[in-house]
Structure 1
């Protein structure tokens, strides 16, 4: 179940759906309760986020005073964070589509607010431990009037291609992975979205995951038919391990599941 947490308001739960998010989400202890939103459908839009297997997402909607208003967003008081609304979709083993109703307007302390940004943090698991997580950030901007962008259609999409980048770290040359998600530009992809064009419409953010993994840093691995081999560098303890033309000397590494291996991702030349 996707969750919507509005700081300083009565929280409500939405059906299936998620910048650099504040630690507030994890530490604030905001109550999440089932219920009905006071936001009318005309004052919000539907955000659909398609996630690959093993992904989760957290979102943060940020609001600013409406153009022409002289009021300001009230200051944060403890766990109450005016001008912010938080969203979360938990990790699932299978692919999933998260669905949220995002308010386009809000009101804090009598100050009329409009949606300015939606920032999200995408997490993905690559191993069994809690540290075996890759993470990346992205966001969507909203404006009063769009500048040099295509009109929003009923099925408008924003697409990001994600890829695992592998590296070794520490004295045991443990494999760790970095998640990199890049925007895919298309003729219908707006840089900033005009708020009014989203009334009663849906916006879909599609995350795909590349089948092939690549080294995080250049000149540190060499690809062979059986897989990638980690260059030795100056010694087996060399934390950088640049190849520097040495295509015959390599060092073993440890996979996230604890195996000692010589070829990535097959572990050994025999593909075991």
Structure 2
């Protein structure tokens, strides 16, 4: 059978940039297909409704709702609407664990969730953020999530759900992920060189801390002469985190220790370490 995976992208976080691509990195899987609908940069009700209606019309076996601040009205409404349509739904969002009421409600719900703590909000101040700065920041953040192992853990969790559908489970029978990605579980099993692991852990911790700095610069500081250096420093932190990831990757290359886990056309995940070798 071919599993249908629907992806609703509401607004933007770095995890959303790659969500469906991580499941089919060479576009040759024959066991699943994805359909992605996006609200663009906005989280207004009419934008969210448009995305959800398109997703429901496609009737996926399960859906993924990717958004910043997944406890906001828009993302919450989207997943509730999908649930009402009988579509099992997984939430992928940035760190909402500090938002006590919304976080407790999400944990108590029947939704799956993957919280990516290092997927930090951007420094969205007009005096600082232009399109180039926005793209540069997201590029650095994607690198951090890829090379620390966070993206692999996210992909593996989604593949587990695909495998369940292939095995005949559907609807409420599906066991959906409930995972908070931090520096411990993101980096676990991803490195053969302990110094590379240390650099990756440092990168994840720095990226995670960026969110707090940007919250201060975007919401807690009034004078533009004060908040511009704050958000600029947050972006410098993300650049430093990306640089640490590059260093970790180069250390792994140096000992021929990069772990690769590609998909076969059947969806089976195989693995290899030595560059000149076949994945098994």
TM-score clears 0.5: no
TM-score by length of 2: 0.25
Higher strand fraction (1 or 2): 1
Higher radius of gyration, 1 or 2: 1
